[in-house]
Amino acid sequence: MQYIGVSCACDGTADQYAVKRSYLDAVRRCGGCPVLLTQLTPPESLPHLVAGLDGLLVPGGIDVSPLLYGQEPIQAVTFTQEAQDRFELALIREAVAQGKPILAVCRGAQLVNVALGGTLYQDIHEQAGATICHRQDSRIPSECTHTISTVPGTLFERLMNGQTAVNSFHHQAIRDLAPGLVAAAWSADGILEAFESPTRPILGVQFHPELLLDAAPGFLALFQQLVHWE
């Protein structure tokens, strides 16, 4: 059995912790056992805890605090939770240090980039000249609303297997990629939609494959890669 850590978000008061079931179902579909992790994990236990995991799934969620990548927040960033960010950053860094596979989605991908020294656009319309809709109506989350161009020769391109459209629920994106990461896909308006590491088992995607699995089962390949990374 492959044990895959999944970080839970906390509510605004840090009184409840939760993760969307779609992430856990995706791990189960690949034969993995999801292990829910919260920011109440004592920091000193992280090395031992991560050592027992076979991979880490970092889910989507709220904006990352710009303070953590050296910026003051612009007006478009109204809600952040630095304690939650710090927990997930520590978790990601421990997983990277131990060489554990990581699949990171949306906010999770942004966190991985920040954990490794990268920066973010706080708002892609204001700062990155985004011109297409990256924040679709959520009534049909499996609706693929914009295309992406995969970078030839990447692992991500192979896993996508010709799929060229994705869903989109973000107003932020990666600005400067962290050292050691490479671009794996771009949107038509130049927003980074996926990255990977050529040397480490790390994949990050800006879209939400966990919401596409019924409509487009091919996206399960991303989770298969996480659970069974060779």
- For residue 132, the minimal CB distance to Mn ion (Å) is 8
The reply on whether position 168 binds Mn ion by CB under 5 A is: yes
C-alpha atoms less than 13 angstroms from C-alpha of 12 in its C-beta half-sphere: 2
Read off the tokens for 65.
Answer: 């605090």
Read off the tokens for 76.
Answer: 């478009």
- For residue 170, the minimal CB distance to Mn ion (Å) is 6
Q: Is 88 helix (H, G, I), strand (E, B) or coil?
A: helix
Alpha-carbon 61 to chain mean position: 9
| E strand map for the chain | 2-7, 9-10, 17-18, 32-37, 55-58, 102-105, 120-121, 146-150, 165-166, 173-174, 182-187, 192-196, 202-205
- For residue 13, the minimal CB distance to Mn ion (Å) is 30
The footprint of Mn ion on residues 186-215 (CB under 5 A) is: none
State the angle between helix axes of 107-115 and 82-97 in degrees (0 to 180), rounded to the nearest 10.
70
- For residue 206, the minimal CB distance to Mn ion (Å) is 5
- From the candidates 88, 94, 193, 210, give the one annotated as an active-site residue: 210
The window from 38-46, 92-100, 149-157, 166-174 that contacts Mn ion (CB under 5 A) reads 166-174
Residue written as tokens 């920066």? 119
For strands 120-121 and 173-174, give the pairing.
antiparallel
Which residue type, as a one-letter code, is found at position 66? P
- From the candidates 106, 134, 170, 193, give the one annotated as an active-site residue: 106
Whichever of 134 and 175 has its CB closer to Mn ion, that residue is 134
Whichever of 178 and 191 has its CB closer to Mn ion, that residue is 191
CB closest to Mn ion, residue no: 168
144 is catalytic: no
Strand order in the sheet with 192-196: 32-37, 2-7, 55-58, 102-105, 202-205, 192-196, 182-187, 146-150, 165-166
125 is catalytic: no
The footprint of Mn ion on residues 82-141 (CB under 5 A) is: 134
208 is catalytic: yes
The reply on whether position 150 binds Mn ion by CB under 5 A is: no
Whichever of 168 and 225 has its CB closer to Mn ion, that residue is 168
Whichever of 87 and 169 has its CB closer to Mn ion, that residue is 169
Whichever of 55 and 60 has its CB closer to Mn ion, that residue is 60
- Active-site residue list: 106, 208, 210
Which parts of this chain interact with Mn ion (CB under 5 A)?
A: 134, 168
